[in-house]
Structure 1
Amino acid sequence: MNRTMLAAIAIALLSSGCVVRASGPRAVIVAEPVPPPVVVAPQPVYVAPPQPVYVTPTPVVIQPPLLVAPPRIVIVPGTQVYTVPTASYNVFVYGGQYYSYHQGTWFHAPRHGAAWTPVAVAAVPVQVRNVPAKHWKVPPPEKAAERERNCPPGHAKKGEC
C-alpha cells in the first residue's frame, strides 16, 4: 500500500470517530472504537397517583305503562279508592286522580292517557297507601309482609295471595 492510500484511510478512520495508531516499522493502522458517550439520566420524579373519581350513577326510573283508554275500575271494599283489575301493575284511582306504585316509586297521572310523574310518598293520599295488601298486584315491601301474614294456608303457593 502506498503512503497516499494509508493517509486516506487514516483520514477516513479519524473522521469516523476512530482512534488511529501507527506502530512498528511499517505503518499498521489499528482502529479502536471510541467509547460511547456518558449519558446522565435525570433522577426519576415520583408523582402521587391521581385521586380516585367516584361517580354516583343516576337512578333509572321506569314509568308504568300509559293508560291509553279509560280502564275498567272496581272499588276496593271499605274505601273510596278504585283499582284497575285488568292492569298487570298497581293502578289506583282516588278523587279522579290516578296513582301507581311501580318498581319502588310512586307515580301520579291526572287522568288516563296522561304521562306518569314520579311523586314523593307524602304526595300520595293516605287512603291509597292504606289499600289492603290483597288488592295490590305487586305490593311494596311493607305490604308484602302483611299479604303473607293474611294469606290462608296453601294459597300463597298457588299465587292466590
Structure 2
Amino acid sequence: MFLGINGDSMARSLDVGHVSETLPDLNTFLADPRLRPTGLVGGSSLVVVGVLLQISPWNSFWSSVVAGVLVFVGVPLFCVGLAAPEPEKPDGLFTLGIELTPDQRRAVATGSLLVLVSPITVATLGPLFDFATGVWLTAALLALTGSVLILTGFLAWTSRRLGESTPSR
C-alpha cells in the first residue's frame, strides 16, 4: 500500500479487459434522455459566451482564442444534445419532436467528435510542423467530415419523417 493506493486496484485499472468491461456503452450513453438538456443548455451557453467574448470591446488575441474554443466545444455539444432522445415528459421544455435512430445518433456523435478534434489538431500539430498548410488542411478536413456526419444524421431523420407523412391533396 503506497499513499493509500492498493496494488490490486492498480493492477485491475491497468487490465485492459477489466477496463473495457467497465466502460459505458456508447449506444447507452447516447440513448440517455438527460443528454438533451445538458447538450442544449450547455452548448448554447458556450456559444453565446464565445460570441459575446469575441464582440467585446476588450478583444485581444487570447480572447479570440478562448472564444474560438468555446464555440468549437459548444456547437458539437449542442448537436449531441439535439440528437439525444426525447425526455419522458411529453410536455417538457426540451421536447422538440426530434427522435433519431441509434445509427443517426452515432453519426451525429462521431461528427461532433471530429469537429471538436479539428482545433485540437491545429493546436497540437501546428507548433510541431510550423503551422504548415498540411496541418490546416487536415483540421479543415476533420471539421468538414464532422459537419457532413452531423448533417447526415439530421437529414436522414428529416427524410424519414417526410417519408412517413402522407401528402394531403
Normalised-by-shorter TM-score class: under 0.3
Considering Cα pairs closer than 8 Å and 6+ residues apart, tell me whether 1 or 2 has the greater RCO. 2
TM-score (norm 1): 0.22
TM-score normalised by L of structure 2: 0.22
Which of the two has greater strand per residue? 1
